[in-house]
Amino acid sequence: MDSLLTVKNLNVSFNTYAGEVKAVRGVSFDLGVKEALAMVGESGCGKTVTSKAVMRLLSRSGGIIKEGSQIQFMGQDILGLSTRELNRIRGSKMSMIFQDSMTSLNPTMTIGNQIMENIFTHEKTTRQKARERAIELLKLVEIPNPETRLKNYPHQLSGGMRQRVMIAIALALNPSLLIADEPTTALDVTIQAQLMDLLRSLKERFSMSVILVTHDLGVVADFADKVQVMYAGTIVERGTVDEIFDSPRHPYTWALLSSIPGRAQESKSKLYSLQGTPPDLLLPLQQCPFAPRCQYCMPICKKAIPKENFLTDTHGVACWLQHPMAPKVTPPAGIGGYDHE
Ligand SMILES: Nc1ncnc2c1ncn2[C@@H]1O[C@H](COP(=O)(O)OP(=O)(O)OP(=O)(O)O)[C@@H](O)[C@H]1O
Ligand code: SF4
Ligand SMILES: [Mg+2]
């Protein structure tokens, strides 16, 4: 598959009063043309920071992309681009939808003007043509009465409708890459499912590559081609959807799978409820980041960071249990396609 995006050894830090917060630590991944990648993990594991690094949207929050990091997008070195060059790419070739539409949309502008503004930033066109395009886009994201809705301000729309507007803005210029950062988290379950259906059909229709950021593995199986599980700023497991759901290898992935409602409920109560919190990102990493919360932790886990080990071309796991001499451990009942007879 042709690569659209290649991230290599991405390290991002924030300098705070308490010290250097190492939010992303040596993350590498590829995304192919028309491919959908799900980035999953608990709050604070570095999903948004990784996504914003790809868009070069970190400077406002003080995030520093460290030397040695590489981001190639459509053959361009994203980290070497000027602000002007970046502005040309952002919103046209790559777009991002954020979790909170209320803060991402401008409360003082009608949604019609916000969609048209994005079109004008990248294209020389007439107001009439931009308006027609805005109506077309609102129809595309299934907003009823688009001509009337154009005149609405964000607060006049429901949360689900606002997310649809965000999607319309993101798609206005037919991007090759869409990053959707928790696009449905703030919404109720029915609206979440409708929006995921919409995103799925738009991905096909526009032949886009998509990075879906979520803490919910439940929405991933029907959407993504591949999954990367993040923990404490690192990728602890990656694989195709089948590899992650049928033969997950990392105890943290098992914990996430256990927490999908309706799945492995029995094992969840017996074997896995994620106790404790992720490690302090101010501290250097000298052990497996999951060690303090892992029920399979061995002495080696507290002495050395496990390297990522590839079981197939696509399935990588960073866990000492993959060492040939480690004890054989199977996941909790109900997780993956393992036989627990
Ligand atoms: N502006 C900032 N200043 C200091 N630290 C930050 C800042 N932004 C993010 N971080 C740190 O980076 C880490 C990763 O944050 P990030 O927003 O990527 O998490 P996330 O995986 O997207 O979580 P969530 O699911 O809550 O959105 C956090 O633990 C946080 O401590
Ligand atoms: S390396 Fe050790 S502590 Fe870390 S996830 Fe694997 S078994 Fe658990
Ligand atoms: Mg986030």
Return d(Cα 310, Cα 319) in angstroms, integer. 11
Of residues 282 and 146, the one with the higher pLDDT is: 146
Of residues 185 and 129, the one with the higher pLDDT is: 129
What is the number of the ligand closest to the CA of 236? 2
Q: Does 318 contact ligand 2 (Cβ within 6 A)?
A: no
Q: Is 149 exposed, middle or buried (0-12, 13-18, 19+ CB in 10 A)?
A: buried
Q: Residue 52: its pLDDT value, please?
A: 95
Q: For residue range 14-38, list pLDDT tens digits in order.
A: 999 999 999 999 999 999 999 999 9
Which residues' Cβ are closer than 6 Å to ligand 1? 14, 16, 21, 23, 41, 43-49, 61-62, 215, 281
Q: Is 125 exposed, middle or buried (0-12, 13-18, 19+ CB in 10 A)?
A: middle
Q: Residue 63: its pLDDT value, please?
A: 94
235 DSSP 8-state letter: E
Q: Residue 273: its pLDDT value, please?
A: 58
Asked whether residue 268 carries a pLDDT value surpassing 50, the answer given is no
> DSSP H helical segments within 207-330, as ranges?
241-246, 251-258, 265-271
Return d(Cα 48, Cα 98) in angstroms, integer. 9
Asked whether residue 305 carries a pLDDT value surpassing 70, the answer given is yes
Return d(Cα 232, Cα 282) in angstroms, integer. 11
Q: Residue 307: its pLDDT value, please?
A: 96
Q: Does 305 contact ligand 2 (Cβ within 6 A)?
A: no
- 288: pLDDT confidence band, cut at 50, 70 and 90? very high
Mean pLDDT value across residues 34-56: 95
Q: For residue range 204-228, list pLDDT tens digits in order.
A: 999 999 999 998 787 898 899 999 9
Asked whether residue 321 carries a pLDDT value surpassing 80, the answer given is yes
Q: Residue 276: its pLDDT value, please?
A: 78
67 C-alpha to center of ligand 1: Å? 20
Nearest CA to ligand 1 atom 25: 43
Q: The pTM is what? A: 0.93
Q: Residue 189: its pLDDT value, please?
A: 83
Relative to beta strand 316-317, strand 309-310 is: antiparallel
Asked whether residue 1 carries a pLDDT value surpassing 80, the answer given is no
304 DSSP 8-state letter: S
Retrieve residue 288's tokens: 């497996």
Give percent of the chain above pLDDT 90.
67
Q: Is residue 175 within 8 Å of 92, Cβ to Cβ?
A: yes
Of residues 211 and 281, the one with the higher pLDDT is: 211
Nearest CA to 165 out of 181, 154, 174 is that of 154
User: What mean pLDDT value characterizes the chain?
Assistant: 90
- Sheet strands (E) in the chain: 3-16, 19-32, 36-40, 63-65, 70-73, 76-77, 94-97, 177-181, 209-214, 226-231, 234-240, 309-310, 316-317
Give percent of the chain above pLDDT 70.
94
Q: For residue range 144-172, list pLDDT tens digits in order.
A: 999 999 999 999 998 889 989 999 999 98
Asked whether residue 112 carries a pLDDT value surpassing 60, the answer given is yes
Residue carrying the six token digits 């990102």: 281
> What number does the ligand 2 atom closest to the CA of 320 have?
1
